[in-house]
């Protein structure tokens, strides 16, 4: 009981409470049980508040969880990757995750489910569409605050970029994306969903050299999932 009380006080940074009990009430089991229950309730409340705040700040367009997935609708790669994605193994290894395939095969559901799981584990997550992310960076650059904007993503454990390839980028936009990805390279994880094969990415970024550099940053040491299959909307 004494160990449990000490541990809770440390987690809540309430060493004074523990010291008081040790000095004046170390033999009062009822008081210690009450304090353990009260402190555990406070700890649980703080964890819940952190999770709710993380979910709100992440900017998910909708809430999609692993429990909501219909496994039979997922392509084989998606089904087989579920255990590792749930365990956030890629995050601990600082790897990226790339989900490539046609529409309606569960790419965005998986990406958001991973993001929500990470929030629940107190990791910092940000969700952006590729077009929205580029627009934010262009605006930040025009307002001379690009370095500050990019710096905030150094604190994000998982950046989810949805629909990369849905719209094409000019050279400036592609360079901004490369700058952001280079900042996160091998230090944090990025999840990307796309309906484009790697060989078609030059159609989005136009410049072959820059395309190769971007692909190098996102694919090196990445978990790449083939999400091609029949759209669940057609089932």
110 pLDDT tier (thresholds 50, 70, 90): very high
Q: Name the residue among 183, 121, 122 with its Cα closest to residue 153.
A: 183
Tell me the C-alpha distance between 235 and 215, whole Å.
Answer: 33
User: How does residue 54 score in pLDDT terms, banded at 50, 70 and 90?
Assistant: confident
Mean pLDDT of 6-16: 65
In this prediction, residue 25 carries a pLDDT of 60
186-191 mean pLDDT: 94
Mean pLDDT of 187-195: 95
207-232 pLDDT tens trace: 889 899 999 999 998 999 999 988 77
Q: Average the pLDDT over 3-28 and give the result.
A: 62
- When mean pLDDT is compared across 16-30, 176-190, 219-233, the lowest value belongs to 16-30
Structure-model confidence comparison of residues 126 and 199, the more confident one: 126
- pLDDT attached to residue 32: 66
User: pLDDT tier at 104 (50, 70, 90 boundaries)?
Assistant: confident
Write phi, then psi, for 11 (nearest 5 degrees).
Answer: -65, -35
Under DSSP, the state recorded for 27 is: T
What's 217's DSSP letter?
Answer: H
The DSSP bridge partners found for residue 98 are 192, 224
pLDDT exceeds 60 at position 38: yes
Q: Can you tell me which residue has the tokens 């094969």?
A: 197
| pLDDT, mean of residues 59-82 | 91
In this prediction, residue 48 has a pLDDT band, given cuts at 50, 70 and 90, of: confident
CB half-sphere exposure, 203, CA atoms < 13 A: 10
Question: What pLDDT is stored for residue 156 in this prediction?
Answer: 95
Per residue in 130-174, pLDDT (tens digit) is 999 999 999 999 999 999 999 999 999 999 999 998 888 888 889
- Candidates 82, 77, 224, 93; CA nearest to 158 is 93
pLDDT for position 127 = 97
CB 92 within 8 A of CB 212: no
């Amino acid at each position: 009981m004494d160990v449990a009380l000490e541990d809770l006080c440390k987690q809540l940074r309430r060493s004074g409470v523990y010291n008081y009990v040790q000095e004046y009430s170390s033999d009062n089991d009822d008081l210690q049980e009450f304090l353990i229950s009260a402190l555990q309730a406070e700890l649980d409340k703080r964890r819940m508040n952190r999770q709710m705040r993380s979910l709100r700040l992440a900017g998910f367009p909708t809430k999609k969880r692993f429990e909501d997935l219909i496994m039979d609708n997922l392509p084989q790669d998606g089904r087989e990757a579920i255990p590792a994605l749930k365990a956030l193994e890629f995050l601990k290894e600082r790897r990226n995750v790339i989900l490539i395939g046609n529409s309606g095969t569960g790419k965005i559901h998986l990406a958001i489910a991973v993001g929500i799981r990470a929030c629940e584990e107190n990791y910092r997550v940000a969700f952006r569409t590729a077009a929205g992310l580029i627009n934010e960076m262009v605006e930040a650059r025009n307002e001379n605050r690009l370095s500050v904007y990019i710096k905030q993503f150094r604190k994000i454990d998982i950046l989810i970029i949805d629909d990369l390839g849905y719209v094409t980028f000019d050279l400036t936009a592609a360079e901004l994306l490369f700058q952001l990805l280079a900042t996160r390279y091998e230090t944090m994880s990025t999840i990307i969903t796309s309906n484009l094969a790697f060989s078609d990415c030059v159609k989005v970024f136009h410049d072959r050299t820059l395309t190769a550099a971007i692909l190098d940053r996102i694919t090196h040491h990445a978990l790449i999932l083939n999400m091609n299959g029949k759209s669940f909307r057609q089932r």
